[in-house]
């Protein structure tokens, strides 16, 4: 399905939402329906049927009893929109300025690792979709394609780079240099994943994609990492030899297929397995402190946005450290079970920041009305994750494009029906506690 341009005279007026509706209904006359469901529950359910058990567990799972994931949704449900009548909303503006760039909508695609679990196009397909729809894409450190390849697919469209701070400072420096060279416009430092949370769905399946060579393309394409992996491969092997089982052989083949170079050569080379082992050793640091941000600030010219904040005092410390933005996020509930809902944390952080840097929001966003609520509570923009992963699983690049369009359309229509003509009209007065 191809949506017409906003100036297509064949469509009714009334903004992006009305145009999106018109395109869907017009296709319906010919018997064509959207590539992906337009509401999140059906989108998730259809993706579950499409994905493997391990892929769905990785995408849908959260920490422990998954109470934080539930808290994210409960936080949205505690707020209700109060529509106002007889306001001229015939012309609506959903654009926003963010880190010096004017964007058509307040949406960004959050970084998601191991996108090859959803679709062979992985990060490249997402990048093309984001570029086509004018939405910034935050490239993941745990990508299935190197950032240079993803940047080429993005073209001139905006892209940011998410950094997991590795135990190798040399590798961190290499990632920063590559991100700058690849045209990334900001650096997003994820703070809440110094360790992987207790993700029961993955644990019950014994499934860690990285141990099969998935989601480590940023590393295996990096010259510093490749040197470190080669040094490891040259060392004498110690410890017990792995058991030879069908599953172990399958994992070896998976690693060989994903490592750069011919698969047959990789099967007999020690380098692919050494790369996986090196990654698992270096993934992330647990001894970082606020003082380390000064070193990072000195190593890059890019704006730095801290992702994972939940407490106002941490937002104040981010300002003291000279950071350029913050993202209120609990990693979609994937790290700490029993934590507060991300939307509950948003107002306090907005107050602490006081407009000095943009506050972005992440975790639990499922539809356009959620975006309205987050913006009304003070977020400058909103990051979307699981919905586009499921769209990718169902229809590749086209699926991601439709998820973006549907979110933009519902945002636009919700604004209009609530009596809001621009994002500036989305204020706390629009909401009441349920």
Furthest CA-CA distance within the chain: 76
Annotation says 331 is catalytic: yes
* Per annotation, catalytic residue among 119, 259, 311, 331: 331
Look at residue 3 in the predicted model and tell me its pLDDT: 62
Q: Is 8's pLDDT higher than 50? A: no
Rg of the Cα atoms in the chain: 22
Q: Is 10's pLDDT higher than 80? A: no
Look at residue 13 in the predicted model and tell me its pLDDT: 53
Angle between helices 223-233 and 169-181 (to 10 degrees): 150
Give the whole-angstrom CA distance, residue 362 versus residue 281: 28
Give the whole-angstrom CA distance, residue 314 versus residue 306: 10
Return the beta strands (E) in 171-252 as ranges: 187-190
Average pLDDT, the chain: 95
What is the per-residue pLDDT across 400-422, written as a single tens digit (0 to 9) for each? 999 999 999 999 999 999 999 99
Look at residue 21 in the predicted model and tell me its pLDDT: 96
Query: Which of 387, 427, 389 lies closest to 410 in space, CA to CA?
Result: 387
Look at residue 271 in the predicted model and tell me its pLDDT: 96
Q: Which helix (H) or strand (E) holds 309?
A: strand 304-309
In terms of phi and psi (left: phi > 0; alpha: psi -120 to 50; beta: otherwise), the region of 146 is beta
What is the per-residue pLDDT across 59-87, written as a single tens digit (0 to 9) for each? 999 999 999 999 999 999 999 999 999 99
* Report field, pTM of the whole predicted structure over 0.85: yes
Q: How far does CA 200 lie from the centroid of its chain?
A: 21
Q: Is 257's pLDDT higher than 50? A: yes
Q: How far does CA 249 lie from the centroid of its chain?
A: 32
């Amino acid at each position: 399905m191809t949506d017409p341009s906003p100036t297509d005279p064949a469509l009714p007026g009334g903004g992006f939402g009305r145009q999106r509706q018109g395109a869907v209904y017009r296709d319906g006359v010919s018997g064509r329906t959207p590539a992906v469901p337009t509401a999140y529950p059906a989108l998730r359910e259809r993706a579950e049927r499409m994905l493997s058990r391990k892929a769905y567990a990785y995408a849908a799972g959260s920490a422990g009893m998954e109470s934080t994931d539930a808290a994210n949704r409960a936080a949205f449900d505690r707020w209700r929109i109060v529509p106002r009548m007889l306001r001229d909303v015939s012309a609506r503006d959903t654009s926003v300025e963010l880190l010096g760039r004017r964007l058509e909508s307040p949406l960004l695609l959050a970084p998601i690792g191991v996108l090859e679990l959803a679709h062979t196009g992985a990060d490249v397909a997402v990048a093309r979709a984001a570029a086509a729809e004018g939405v910034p894409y935050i490239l993941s450190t745990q990508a299935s394609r190197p950032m240079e390849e993803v940047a080429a697919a993005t073209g001139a469209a905006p892209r940011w780079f998410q950094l997991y701070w590795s135990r190798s400072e040399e590798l961190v420096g290499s990632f920063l240099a590559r991100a700058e060279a690849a045209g990334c416009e900001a650096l997003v430092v994820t703070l809440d994943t110094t360790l992987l949370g207790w993700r029961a769905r993955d644990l019950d399946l014994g499934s860690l994609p990285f141990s099969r060579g998935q989601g480590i393309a940023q590393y295996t394409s990096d010259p510093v990492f490749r040197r470190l992996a080669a040094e490891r491969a040259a060392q004498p092997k110690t410890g017990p030899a792995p058991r030879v089982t069908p599953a172990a052989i399958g994992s070896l083949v998976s690693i060989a297929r994903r490592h750069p170079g011919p698969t047959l050569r990789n099967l007999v080379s020690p380098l692919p397995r050494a790369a996986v082992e090196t990654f698992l050793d270096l993934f992330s640091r647990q001894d970082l402190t606020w003082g380390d941000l000064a070193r990072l600030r000195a190593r890059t010219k890019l704006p730095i946005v801290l992702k994972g904040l939940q407490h106002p005092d941490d937002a104040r410390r981010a300002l003291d450290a000279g950071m350029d933005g913050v993202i209120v996020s609990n990693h979609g509930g994937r790290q700490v079970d029993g934590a507060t809902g991300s939307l509950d944390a948003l107002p306090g952080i907005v107050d602490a920041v006081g407009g000095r840097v943009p506050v972005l929001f992440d975790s639990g966003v499922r539809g356009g009305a959620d975006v309205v609520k987050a913006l009304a509570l003070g977020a400058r923009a909103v990051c979307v994750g699981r919905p586009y992963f499921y769209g990718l699983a169902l229809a590749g690049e086209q699926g991601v494009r439709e998820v973006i369009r549907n979110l933009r359309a519902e945002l636009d229509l919700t604004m209009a029906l609530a009596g809001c003509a621009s994002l500036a009209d989305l204020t706390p007065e629009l909401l009441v506690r349920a």
